[in-house]
Structure 1
Amino acid sequence: MHSMELLARLGASLLRTPAVIALYRHLVLSHRPWTRCFGLCVLAVVYGLRTARQFSNRRLKLTALAALVFTQAALSLLPKSLLAPAAGCIALVAATALACIAGFQPEDGIGHRCGVKGFNGRLCENTIEAAVELAERDLREGPLPGFPYLEFDVQETADGELVVFHDALLSGAFPIDGCNAALAEQLVQAAGVPFNSLTLQHLSLAQLQSLHLAGRRGLHVPTLNQLLEACVAAGLRRTLAVEVKLLSTDAARQRLIDTVGGYLDAQAPRLSSDPVAVRHRCKQLGWAGIIAFPHLFAASFGEYGTPEWRRWAHKFKQSGIPATGMGQKLRMLWNHPAGPKTIHFWAPTFKWGISMANIADMQRPAELISYPQQLAITATGLIWSRFSTQITPVNYNLLAVNAFMAVTGIYQLQRKIRHDMELKEAAGAAAGGA
């Protein structure tokens, strides 16, 4: 297959819309170097905008903008060199990786909602049973991967108690049939609103704990104190990430600070003496910290910079409790397990640049292809593809990039071998004719 035809097929498989495919064929596949660079530059913008749209939320706008600027700079610095396509593609991969990584939330990992999401499995989210099982697994099986901290959600009930519950409405966690039927009817009558509109702010702690989570008799929403006591009893050696959903009263806010501060005073010495716990502690949150989305943090503790915000920030600082809004992404991005300072980020980026440079070389005459170079590219791609499946967690991005690099190397070797065979056949025919 001709190299230009291969590139055309590759472009058609990667680019979906007819307009972008036409752009790829007329600009990127042009025989003019400047036109190819311009085409790559335009595609960089398209990819960047698509990435921004795909991961669209208020926390990624700055990241998407920075990625686009980096992409354009990389493409414009080396317009006449074969390194230009490689630099441009490196920038594109970096932009996509940055967007994916920046989408990482503090609650990501197997510790999110005490290790379970939803109410349909064997365990239910934000329950003592789920937290204890995860803590015991971590002790029994060694430090579990993807477990930066145990995260759970805290809200306030109508009588000011702190409970561990995620949703704004109760209807998703409590079916109104079976053991909840009679209780649900009583609560609806007392609150004067339909059950599917009930929130924690309508119920006291006693009323809330009279309901059975997921319709399972004996399974109730725990209080913050109950969950913390269970974590201590289970020997939890991970950071606690306490996500605030809604606290309406100063008494509840102060109780949160006192409760988490008391946990830190009691458990920090034990955890700090455990080398395994220290090695896996979340640096941003210490042994226990408060997290919240910016708008939820503002609803509970005041808008950023206001006197109310300063008052509660001072109380958090006095108690030694880290408190952060999830909008603070740059530090999290830098410290992410697959962030810019790790091989998980840069290895796929550089390998993709090599692959794109090799594709650009497909337009060069076959006699200029180097056997050692292409053998090295092929072997590196195959070896690293295997390595990518052995590490924990499996780096699928690294696997895909190295497999693709191996494919480009194999194709170039095939071009070189076929060219050499044609030369031998031509020489043999010439010798026979003589």
Structure 2
Amino acid sequence: MQRLRGATQDAFGVWRHRLLFLAGGVGVGLAAVLMAWLADAAQGGFRQVLALSPLVALGLTPLGFALCAWLARDVFPNAQGSGIPQVIAARQTRQVALRRSLVSLKVAIGKIVVMSLGLLFGASTGREGPTVQVGAAIMAAAGHLTPERVPGLILAGGAAGVAAAFNTPLAGIVFGIEELGRAYEARTGGLIVAAIVAAGLTAMALTGNYTYFGTSDAALPFSPGWIAIPVIGALGGLAGGGFARIVILFARGLPGRLGAAIARHPIAFAAACGLGVALCGLISGGAVYGTGYEEARALLHGTAASHVDFAPLKFLATLFSAISGIPGGLFAPSLSIGAGLGAAFQGWFSGVPVAALVLIGMVAYLTGALQAPITAFVIVTEMTQDHALMIPLMVAALIADAVSKAVCREGLYHALAHILLERHGTEGRPSAPASPMPS
């Protein structure tokens, strides 16, 4: 009888934990929908302000960046940047207090609030990266009764965040394995899938089943036009790797007086970065503000003319936003930069449709910036349902990854996570051998 009672209690405990995890997945889906709505509303509000005069950005954006940097540093610490380095560091560290500070519900709330404020002031940032940190925080909170499983829950929550933000469940799984985990853990595999299903179904119930950029049927049969793949792949890898290297350099701290000045006056530096974004916005006619989602979608479907200066100006605006220290992700802006890069080659390669060039550019630049080639081509394929381009996108990702590694020897998110752990006086618990930092 006592043995039966014990077995019943064990079974109840297992199902209680599973229900908590399921509730966490639903929470991630709700958070993803909320963040998408807030991001759209914030960008719409900024466009309304610019309608009064584009010059308003010269004052509003620097002040907004200063406010966001102050909130992220002093009110919601550990909410800076995309949030993915914090999730990686939380999985690696042995310090429970540090882990909780990196993926707490307070940080999640701050992330949502300040990320939305950044877009309201014209930042060239995305919401998908922050959804990873928010998702990890929600799942970690849901599993507080099983602390030994928290690292796996953080992984599951982050993966679910990507899946719900883009409506790409396969990409969520791949991202969890390739970028957050850097190694497959069999005991957390089911947990990742369950969280992604719960989050994805919740988001789908509220927003419907959709493809992020709309469907594309672009194809690229094997022909001389394939020369576009190595050309755009190499350029995307070069630009993305350069972006990552600069961001890592600023995160470590610039040498000399300039670096010391930035360290002493981070809020003023954020304001200066905001001014840089505003100038890029003025030159581009307002095209580089915000996530870049609408611009990338228009380029993909041929409803907007491609401008050669869009990609470099969006690159600069995203770089200023990334090094400023304000909360915001890189996924959507990177896809927008890649779309502009690919579209700039329209007419250069005979017989290659512009949609194919745009998708190759997206994969190439995203791979170059993140050094996560599988995630890049899976997420772009799943976002557009364009399976005809799968092989060309794989080739572009491989080329971009090789070029990016020649420029920046460590992936952006993992380098930032190592810097974060170093500053907290811990080396963490690496899930894979750390690559040398770029020199």
Task: Tell me which interval the TM-score lies in, with the shorter structure as reference length.
Answer: under 0.3
- When you count strand as a share of all residues, which structure comes out higher? 1
Name which structure has the greater RCO, CA cutoff 8 Å, separation 6+.
2
TM-score w.r.t. structure 1 length? 0.22
- When you count helix as a share of all residues, which structure comes out higher? 2
Considering only CA atoms, is the larger Rg found in Structure 1 or Structure 2? 1
